[in-house]
Amino acid sequence: MFWKRKSKKKDGQEAPGSAAEAAGTAEEIEGTGESGGSEEAGDKADGTAGDVSGTPEKAAVAGDGEDPEKADGTSEEEPGTEDGQEPASTDVFADEGEETGVTGPDDEGITRVRTAGTFEFDGEKYEVVSNTWIVDADKDGVVVIDPGHDSEAILEAIGERDIYLVACTNGYAPHIESAIAVAEEAEAPIALHPREMRVWRRFHGAEHRPEIEVEGEGVLDVGDLHIDVLALPGTSPGTVGYYISQKGVVFSGDTVRAGEPGMVGDIYIDYTTQLASIGEKLLSLPPETRLLPDRGPASTSAAENSNFDAWV
CATH topology of domain 2-41+92-311: Metallo-beta-lactamase; Chain A (3.60.15)
Q: Between these two residues, 157 and 49, which has the higher pLDDT value?
A: 157
Give the whole-angstrom CA distance, residue 190 versus residue 148.
14
Report the predicted TM-score, pTM, of the whole model to 2 decimal places. Answer: 0.77
* In the predicted structure, residue 60 carries a pLDDT above the cut 90: no
Predicted confidence at residue 57, as pLDDT, reads: 39
Q: Between these two residues, 13 and 106, which has the higher pLDDT value?
A: 106
| CB-based contact 154:160 (threshold 8 Å) | no
Can you point out the beta strands (E) in the chain?
2-5, 50-51, 101-103, 110-121, 124-136, 141-145, 162-167, 190-192, 212-213, 218-222, 225-231, 240-244, 249-253, 256-257, 260-261, 290-293, 299-300
* In the predicted structure, residue 73 carries a pLDDT above the cut 50: no
Helices 151-158/179-186 angle, 10° precision: 40
- Grouping H, G, I as helix, E, B as strand and the rest as coil, residue 140 is coil
Average pLDDT over residues 108-113: 98
* In the predicted structure, residue 90 carries a pLDDT above the cut 90: no
Predicted confidence at residue 247, as pLDDT, reads: 98
pLDDT bucket at 96, cuts 50 / 70 / 90: confident
* In the predicted structure, residue 36 carries a pLDDT above the cut 50: no
pLDDT tens readout for residues 211-247? 999 999 999 999 999 999 999 999 999 999 999 999 9
Mean pLDDT of the chain: 82
Average pLDDT over residues 275-279: 98
Q: Between these two residues, 209 and 41, which has the higher pLDDT value?
A: 209
Predicted confidence at residue 239, as pLDDT, reads: 98
Predicted confidence at residue 30, as pLDDT, reads: 41
Q: Between these two residues, 47 and 88, which has the higher pLDDT value?
A: 88
pLDDT bucket at 97, cuts 50 / 70 / 90: confident
Domain borders along the chain are: 2-41+92-311
Predicted confidence at residue 311, as pLDDT, reads: 97
pLDDT bucket at 61, cuts 50 / 70 / 90: very low
Q: Which amino acid is at 222?
A: V
